[in-house]
């Protein structure tokens, strides 16, 4: 039941993000006088619609996007008015001419000055940026709220669990025949806060783990128990485990794999606590999210090869790789079902992770839509800016106004890009069904 709740909540969040994205296009378009005939959330069959004024508002069956239909997206050819060029014989030319014709058919008598292409360049840029910028604003609001109100998760030196035994194999699930863990034998208890190891002060579980790994037996563990400082003498054992850096992160070899070695073992785990951050840190977190998402998109061809190999070759999925809306739903289900251990230990923690996932999705929508290729918003922005540059150059050098850029000529490229995106979506959905990313292990 909790798994299903996560899926449903994420579906609502995705739908709301799409609706607000399209609203980011619709509001400035109406403000600038463009006639908008449709505002739709989703694709496919229409589930519900209602007309108000010039605009039909509706919801469609497939929540994988949306659109705002504005009249006059494609300008007519110079000197042709609304008529088609009679010499359109090539397939690509026919595609462009058909788009111009369909665009012209939407323009009714009296609508000639309510078309998109007649707007100044800056107004067209504002309209097309309205959608992705709305997603960025959503992500910024969510991330700012998360880090300032709830905080970010940090592993503290407060003991959450004490192991019953010290197994030689870290994957062992039974303590039968195993000696008790050093932590249990020394009397370490859940709720103890480790403040020092052999007199060396530690903060956070990373520093604590590193200090314990490099301690010699017997070690003195200083703890704060209910406000009282206690020193425990611990007979540490030696086991094979990944070697840690001073900050608690694992050392990696040239292949990126953890380096194993003989280290001292205590047998306890730290706690996850959420530490609120100042609001001044919000731009840093948003900027980091933008950069990391941008890196994923730049590496998308390589990542998609990995997805293909995972889908058809049985390779493990890359947890940092792309996922479809199906994958997002599965991750949301894992979160609400408590599949991430201490990170999902409370209802509040689950909701925060869901909001963080939704913020990441909105960051991805922003970055994706800013790609300067049609039919994406970034492609329309690039076309408008190119037109502005051409007109500026013509004005500076006293040349005739070149008129609107004929973006209909780019439709063959737009169709190609759309087919590539559809193919990627199908592959990701299939991979998320047969070999999904499981954050819970």
CB 206 within 8 A of CB 155: yes
What is the spatial distance between Cα 157 and Cα 210, in angstroms, rounded to a whole number? Answer: 12
What is the spatial distance between Cα 118 and Cα 126, in angstroms, rounded to a whole number? Answer: 14
Cα-based distances in Å from 256 to 121, 243, 251, 333 = 48, 13, 9, 30
φ/ψ of 344, rounded to 5, equals -120, 35
> Taking the chain, what is the end-to-end CA distance rounded to the nearest angstrom?
20
Q: Which two tokens mark 337?
A: 């079902």
Surface-to-core class of residue 284, CB atoms within 10 Å of its CB (0-12 exposed, 13-18 middle, 19+ buried):
exposed
φ/ψ of 181, rounded to 5, equals -70, 150
Burial 211-244 (b: 16+ CB within 10 A, else e): bbbbbeeebebbbbeeeeeeebebebbebebbbb
Catalytic positions are 22
Q: Is the peptide bond before 295 cis (omega within 30 degrees of 0)?
A: no
φ/ψ of 221, rounded to 5, equals -105, 120
Q: Is the peptide bond before 218 cis (omega within 30 degrees of 0)?
A: yes
Among residues 373, 384, 393, 390, which one has the least CA distance to residue 32? 384
Token match 């209602």: residue? 50
CB 136 within 8 A of CB 363: yes
CB 58 within 8 A of CB 38: yes
Give the Cβ contact number of residue 291 at 10 Å.
Answer: 10
């Amino acid at each position: 039941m909790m798994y299903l709740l996560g899926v449903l909540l994420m579906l609502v969040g995705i739908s709301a993000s799409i609706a607000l994205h399209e609203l980011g296009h619709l509001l400035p378009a109406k403000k600038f006088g463009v006639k908008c005939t449709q505002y739709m959330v989703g694709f496919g069959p229409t589930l519900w619609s209602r007309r108000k004024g010039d605009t039909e508002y509706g919801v469609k069956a497939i929540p994988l996007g949306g659109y705002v239909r504005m009249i006059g997206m494609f300008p007519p050819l110079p000197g042709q008015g609304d008529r088609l060029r009679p010499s359109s014989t090539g397939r690509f030319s026919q595609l462009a001419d058909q788009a111009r014709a369909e665009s012209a058919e939407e323009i009714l008598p009296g609508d000639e000055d309510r078309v998109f292409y007649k707007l100044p360049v800056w107004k067209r840029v504002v309209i097309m940026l309205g959608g992705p910028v709305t997603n960025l604003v959503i992500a910024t609001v969510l991330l700012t709220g998360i880090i300032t109100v709830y905080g970010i998760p940090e592993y503290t030196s407060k003991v959450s669990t004490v192991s019953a035994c010290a197994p030689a194999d870290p994957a062992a699930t039974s303590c039968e025949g195993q000696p008790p863990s050093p932590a249990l034998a020394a009397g370490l208890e859940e709720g103890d806060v480790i403040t020092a190891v052999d007199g060396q002060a530690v903060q956070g579980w990373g520093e604590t783990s590193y200090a314990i790994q490099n301690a010699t037996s017997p070690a003195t563990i200083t703890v704060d128990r209910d406000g009282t400082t206690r020193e425990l003498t611990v007979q540490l054992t030696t086991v094979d485990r990944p070697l840690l850096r001073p900050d608690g992160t694992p050392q990696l070899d040239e292949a990126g794999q953890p380096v194993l070695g003989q280290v001292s073992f205590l047998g306890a785990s730290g706690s996850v606590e959420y530490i609120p951050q100042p609001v001044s840190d919000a731009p840093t977190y948003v900027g980091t999210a933008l950069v990391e998402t941008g890196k994923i998109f730049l590496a998308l061809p390589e990542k998609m090869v990995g997805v293909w190999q995972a889908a058809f070759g049985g390779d493990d999925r890359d947890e940092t790789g792309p996922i479809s809306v199906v994958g997002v739903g599965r991750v949301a289900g894992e979160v609400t079902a408590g599949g991430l251990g201490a990170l999902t230990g409370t209802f509040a923690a689950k909701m925060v992770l869901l909001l963080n996932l939704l913020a990441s999705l909105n960051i991805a929508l922003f970055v994706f839509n800013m790609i300067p290729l049609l039919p994406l918003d970034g492609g329309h922005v690039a076309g408008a800016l190119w037109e502005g540059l051409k007109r500026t150059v013509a004005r500076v050098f006293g040349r005739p106004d070149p008129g609107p850029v004929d973006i209909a000529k780019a439709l063959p490229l737009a169709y190609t890009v759309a087919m590539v995106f559809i193919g990627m979506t199908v592959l990701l959905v299939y991979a998320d069904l047969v070999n999904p990313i499981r954050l819970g292990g």
